[in-house]
A and B are shown apart, each in its own frame.
Chain A
């Protein structure tokens, strides 16, 4: 089965609403990250720019406890639309970490 489960699979928000994206995983991990992908675009690690949304504005927070992580998007904007991936960093052979991706949550924010 899937090692990384994300929910919901898709979500529609009215602009200004908040949402919490969920991630559960069945394997041990060194780190959980969240990536954002604009439709047809490249993946961007949300943690690379602490406190910032992909749009450049203030983002929400991530919480990871045990084998669960959540990403809260507050005061959503249409520019937040895209796919959000929960990504686990797992120790692989040779001592190098590898990234394991969830299937993503597709977020649509409508005006």
Chain B
């Protein structure tokens, strides 16, 4: 099974502050994704990347930036955290050829006060 790790596992941030969530995968996957999970909404795609140094917008990119400095690492950046960004954030990765098979990290629980 793919190893996808996230840090921190939980974080409390203040409104207006900067937050960086990190994701690391060790299985040489090409694609990486960031999702957020809110109660009653399932998961929604924020940003994704299919190659290092390139990121793409997902369905709900507003208020978030992403960075893919290497194939193994993918960060989600909240430049000005807001209350509405309180959620659980999941990172996922997949191989190029496995279109439908994503492996998820354990999640980061973010609370913005």
Q: Which residues of A contact B (CB under 8 A)?
A: 4, 30-31, 33, 40-45, 48, 85, 89, 96-99, 101-104
Contact A99 to B102, CB < 8 A, known contacts A42-B90, A43-B90: yes
Q: Which of A43, A97, A101 contacts B100 (CB 8 A)?
A: A97
Most A-side CB within 10 Å, residue of B1, B58, B102, B106: B102
Q: Which residues of B contact A (CB under 8 A)?
A: 1, 31, 40-45, 48, 50, 58, 90, 92, 99-102, 104-107
* CB pairs A–B below 8 angstroms (13 shown): A40-B107, A41-B107, A42-B105, A42-B106, A42-B107, A44-B104, A85-B43, A97-B100, A98-B45, A98-B48, A103-B40, A103-B42, A104-B42
Q: What chain A residues lie within 8 Å of B58 (beta carbons)?
A: 98
- Cross-chain contact B45 with A45 (CB below 8 angstroms): no
Q: How many contacts A-B (CB < 8 Å)?
A: 46
- Cross-chain contact A33 with B100 (CB below 8 angstroms): yes
Interchain nearest-CB distance for A54 vs B (Å) = 12
Q: What chain B residues lie within 8 Å of A4 (beta carbons)?
A: 42
A31 to B31, CA, bound (A): 19
Interchain nearest-CB distance for B50 vs A (Å) = 7
Contact A48 to B106, CB < 8 A, known contacts A85-B42, A101-B43, A103-B40: no
Q: What chain A residues lie within 8 Å of B40 (beta carbons)?
A: 103
Interchain nearest-CB distance for A87 vs B (Å) = 8
Interchain nearest-CB distance for B93 vs A (Å) = 12
Interchain nearest-CB distance for A65 vs B (Å) = 18
Q: What chain A residues lie within 8 Å of B92 (beta carbons)?
A: 43
- Cross-chain contact A103 with B41 (CB below 8 angstroms): yes
Interchain nearest-CB distance for B46 vs A (Å) = 12
